[in-house]
Amino acid sequence: MRAIVQRVSRAAVVVDGATVGEIGRGICVLLGICQSDTAQDADWMSKKLLNLRLFDENDEQGGKRWMKSVRDLGLEVLVVSQFTLHATLKAEKMYADILESMRRDYQEDKIKAGVFGAMMEVSSTKLWPRYALTSHSSHARMKSHRPSWLTSLRARPGADS
């Protein structure tokens, strides 16, 4: 399981001309699910996303950096299924499970989502930085499930592997 997480001041996802998910300040998550991911991976990712400290303690007054999470600040989350992170379409149930877990563990009205497998337009106003996450149990399997474009990027001299 992989997620690209972006801090945003706003984000929305549109399917067939209709907005299906929209948030204000919070995080936009592009989520890729692997066939071998488990319910434990989904629970881990849900907790990680809700508790990831991407926000400053007090943005307006220059407080400590990287001290607050979505949960701490009562912010919103937009989750969008991202096929290209693992190239598998057989993950709809896991996607639904992650959304259910996040809604159960946080505030249901703060969790929005795109439509699994749909052609979506995602727009956001980003508040840098951007992070990539993986669950612990699927981390060991990553090399065998790494998209070819990512492998070729990492194969450059001097690139981390």
Q: Which residues are catalytic?
A: 82-84
User: Would residue 155 count as lying in a domain?
Assistant: no
**Is 92 domain-assigned?**
yes
Q: Long-range contacts for 44-50 (Cβ within 8 Å, ≥24 apart)?
A: 44/135, 44/136, 44/137, 45/1, 45/3, 45/98, 45/133, 45/135, 46/98, 46/101, 46/102, 46/105, 47/105, 48/133, 48/135, 49/3, 49/5, 49/77, 49/102, 49/133, 50/77, 50/102, 50/105, 50/106
Query: If pLDDT is split at 50, 70 and 90, which confidence band does 159 have?
Result: very low
Q: What is the CATH number of the domain that holds 108?
A: 3.50.80.10
Phi first, then psi, for residue 135 (nearest 5°) are -80, 155
* Residue 47 counted as domain residue: yes
Residue 13 lies in a domain: yes
Q: How many domains does the chain have?
A: 1
Domain-embedded: residue 68: yes
Decide if 145 is inside a domain: no
Report whether 27 contacts 77 (CB < 8 A): yes
Range of the domain at 51: 2-136
Give the CA dihedral 37, 4, 17, 11, nearest 10 degrees.
130
Q: How far apart are CA 17 and CA 158, in angstroms?
A: 44
pLDDT tens for residues 136-152? 555 454 444 444 444 44
Q: Report pLDDT for 126.
A: 85
Question: Residue 132 falls within a domain, yes or no?
Answer: yes
Q: What is the pLDDT of residues 30-75, one digit of tens each?
A: 998 888 888 888 899 999 999 998 888 775 666 677 789 999 999 9
Backbone angles phi, psi at 23, to 5 degrees: -135, 160
Q: Determine, yes or no, domain membership for 149.
A: no
